[in-house]
Structure 1
Amino acid sequence: MNKKLVDDIRKKTYEYFQKANIVLTNDEINNIEVADFGLNDIEKMGLQLVTYINTSRYCAKEMVLFPKQTCPEHKHPKREDNSEGKMETFRCRWGEVYLYVEGERTSNPIAILPKEYGKNFTVFKEIVLEAGQQFTIKPNTLHWFQAGDKGAVISEFSSNSDDSSDIFTDKNIKRLPEY
């Protein structure tokens, strides 16, 4: 992604944080992470986020998904030091988010996957989160999520985040942004 596109997405992301009444510092606004997962298709497959803190013990983030934007299927496995993978709680702050985890498939899921990515999604137990609702995902659990028609703002509270250890179903994904 080029700098202008990243700057435009950061501006748009900040507008969503404002809708959710989330106050950010100027430094946080200027450093909003834009993750396109190396797919160069940010409007369909991507995520925008601010990490408040990420220590060896815990992590707190705010995430924005634009309308129908999807965070691809992945899991947080055991670490090289044999510690558990990341456990995370998602709390919807604004909008609506469709979260999919391992378990019995929901008939007629709400999310609509772009055809070019459909084969890279395997779990379809649906949890619908509206503002004020939350769900906790256990370590090493496949999951993915998509915003509703208005987009979504989600807070994440988790154990330590090590993005480089995430395992994505789509082997073409690069988690860390390249811009």
Structure 2
Amino acid sequence: MKQHINQLLSESGIVLTPAEIDNLECADFGLKDFVSIGLIVHTYINTSRYCAKELILLPHQTCPEHRHPNRGAEPGKQETFRCRYGLVSLFVEGNPTLHCKITPPRNGEEYYSVFNEIVLKPGEQYTIMPNIKHWFQAHENGAVVSEFSSHSDDASDIFTDPRINRFSFLR
């Protein structure tokens, strides 16, 4: 898997140090089906004001449906995804797309409820406002997506699938 991750990063033009690659977060969301439902994350910075990450997805890998709710009087996370490599289908609330290019993974497809599909190509970006349900999946070559956001607080994320544990990682 490390070789595949390095290949995706190389294709995207994103350069991480060997130490950063060794410390990538490989989230399996507690579903033990990482190749299908998972996410590889490198966090550059996460302060009370802003956050920057690289999201690396293997071919057809899905980050499951979730939202970033308000945290008390503070709005939830607002994030902009910019595709660096591959194609990624981002699904958000709104009118469902009639002929989606991607379908939810079979393991828990009943927990996907938003089907307004935005296909991001390299150089394209989309901003997700706070508290909006969304999920995303790489196409056949995998994808690398840069995320720029307000403060990231994974503990406050609400996933549609009650089985999900955001803090479950591959070792």
Task: Please state which band the TM-score falls in when normalised by the shorter chain.
Answer: over 0.9
Q: 1:85 aligns to what? A: 76
CA-CA distance at 1:117 after TM superposition: 1.6
Q: 1:160 aligns to what? A: 151
* Structure 1 Cα separation of the partners of residues 2 and 77 of structure 2: 26
* Structure 1 Cα separation of the partners of residues 20 and 150 of structure 2: 21
Percent identity between matched residues is 54
* Structure 1 Cα separation of the partners of residues 128 and 103 of structure 2: 22
Equivalences for 1:134-153 in 2 at 5 Å?
Answer: 134-153=125-144
Contiguous gaps of at least 5 residues in structure 1: 1-8
CA-CA distance at 1:27 after TM superposition: 1.7
TM-score, normalization: structure 1? 0.92
* Structure 2 Cα separation of the partners of residues 114 and 26 of structure 1: 32
CA-CA distance at 1:74 after TM superposition: 0.1
Is the 8 Å Cα contact of residues 63 and 135 (structure 2) preserved in structure 1? Answer: yes
Cα deviations by residue, 1:4-49 (Å, 9 ceiling, x for unpaired): xxxxx34432221111111112221110110100000001100101
Amino acid at match of 1:166: D
Q: 1:75 aligns to what? A: 67
Q: 1:134 to 1:96 in 2, by over 3 A?
A: same
Contiguous gaps of at least 5 residues in structure 2: none
Cα deviations by residue, 1:78-119 (Å, 9 ceiling, x for unpaired): 11x420000000000000000000000100111122323210
Q: 1:4 aligns to what? A: none
CA-CA distance at 1:170 after TM superposition: 0.2
* Length, aligned pairs only: 170
Q: In structure 2, the residue corresponding to 1:128 is in which secondary structure?
A: strand
* Structure 2 Cα separation of the partners of residues 22 and 33 of structure 1: 16
Amino acid at match of 1:87: Q
CA RMSD of aligned residues (A): 1.1
